Structure 1
Amino acid sequence: MNFIKSYFLGIKAQKARQKSLACERETFNYEQASSIGLLFRVANGNGEHQYINQFVQGLKRDGKKVETLTFFDRTEDSPYDFPFNFFTEKDISNFGVFTSSKIHNFIEKKFDYLFCINLDEFEPFDLILSASKAKCRIGKYDEQRAQLFELMIQVEGNSIKQLIEQIQHYTKAICFNH
């Protein structure tokens, strides 16, 4: 991204990490959850796209309605075998404002769970997570981003596969009382 865009995104993301801008949160048992948002970003060429495909297939087998959003900067064909929404750098103004209706629609959805499958800090995702209307946001443990998640998963190493496995394990194992 260009310097100006990165600068404004950095400022907005830092503010977002300090306080979540969106709604009151709520937690559900996995069995009760019906709508799942999946915000994901996988580096090109590392072969981990298959794990996202398997994760989405598993969620659908469990009867979940899944909507996805990714930052997609690939020029070749999609490695995913499910329908997904994406945005590119062109969908972010030079002042760090989202210009895509796909992003705004994703933010407004009241998902039961919003899974963030991303291994590194990515400022556009921080902004999406902070503004999201999702009831429970789940992602990789990062002390600096604690305000963005209701459940954070510690991952040994830096593997999309392990992050997904741990998210599946903990969301299915933890029972919330209402």
Structure 2
Amino acid sequence: MGLYLSFKFFVLGIVTRCLAKHKTLVRSNVGLSRATTIGVLYSYDSPAKHEVVQRFIRDLKNLDKNVSVLCYTTGKDRVHPSSHLRYAFSHHAITILGKVKGDRIKKFIETPFDYLFQLDLTTNSVLDCLVAKQRAKCRVGHFDPMRKNLFEVMVKVSRTVPIEDTKRLASQMLHYTGCMEG
């Protein structure tokens, strides 16, 4: 990673922490059974992870949910022949101070989702900034004490094999949000 990108992600992390601490919205859980709109954010790591996320999206659609998806990629990921990423964006779509450039991403941020799921096991400055800006009623992500202001629900999975961890994360997110009632 270049020096500029390292600096950009560092500054973006500071901006995100400020957003998460100072942006107070009234958030209320409607329960997954009554939720209609769902947002899914993730970063593309491999075709296997992409397939896990696609399965998660199919599970949500099978529950009659309207699902919107955004996928963060690097340039080399986007041209991977098996990825078929129709809803991908890179770090160029957000400025160093967190201003969003793309219309699709702006629309995603402004959509008042009932639930927003972030399906990554590691911190990503770009996605964390989008989560902080999102107006979802309930934001769900992987447990990380440094990101406690970003999510209303955090799911912790034990770390073994990365793809299995992502499968467990997706499964437990559905399980725990399914148990919640508004």
TM-score (norm. length: structure 1): 0.87
For 2:175, give the aligned amino acid. H
Tell me if structure 1 keeps the 8 A contact 2:38–2:115. Answer: yes
1:68 maps to which residue? 69
Shift of 1:116: 0.6
For 2:150, give the aligned amino acid. L
1:10 and 1:94 mapped to 2: Cα distance?
10
2:31 and 2:100 mapped to 1: Cα distance?
32
1:173 and 1:84 mapped to 2: Cα distance?
32
Change (3 A) 1:7 1:48: closer
Question: Which of 114-123 and 85-94 deviates more?
Answer: 85-94
1:70 and 1:28 mapped to 2: Cα distance?
25
2:122 maps to which residue? 120
2:96 and 2:35 mapped to 1: Cα distance?
37
Tell me if structure 2 keeps the 8 A contact 1:67–1:84. Answer: no
Percent identity among equivalent residues?
A: 30
2:181 maps to which residue? 175
Tell me if structure 1 keeps the 8 A contact 2:13–2:129. Answer: no
Tell me the matched-pair count. Answer: 172
Identify which of 12, 15, 19 aligns with 1:16: 19
Deviation string 1:97-146 (CA, Å, 9 cap, x unpaired) is: 32112221111100000011011111111111111111110111111111
Q: Where in structure 2 are the equivalents of 1:20-59 lying within 5 Å?
A: 21=23, 23-44=25-46, 47-59=48-60
Cα RMSD (Å) = 2.0
Q: Where in structure 2 are the equivalents of 1:85-124 lying within 5 Å?
A: 85-124=87-126
Shift of 1:8: 2.3
SS at match of 2:140: strand
Tell me if structure 1 keeps the 8 A contact 2:29–2:181. Answer: no
2:23 and 2:88 mapped to 1: Cα distance?
22
Tell me if structure 2 keeps the 8 A contact 1:68–1:84. Answer: no
Change (3 A) 1:7 1:175: closer
Tell me if structure 1 keeps the 8 A contact 2:50–2:83. Answer: yes
SS at match of 1:148: coil
Identify which of 74, 78, 81 aligns with 1:77: 81
2:126 and 2:89 mapped to 1: Cα distance?
10
TM-score (norm. length: structure 2): 0.85
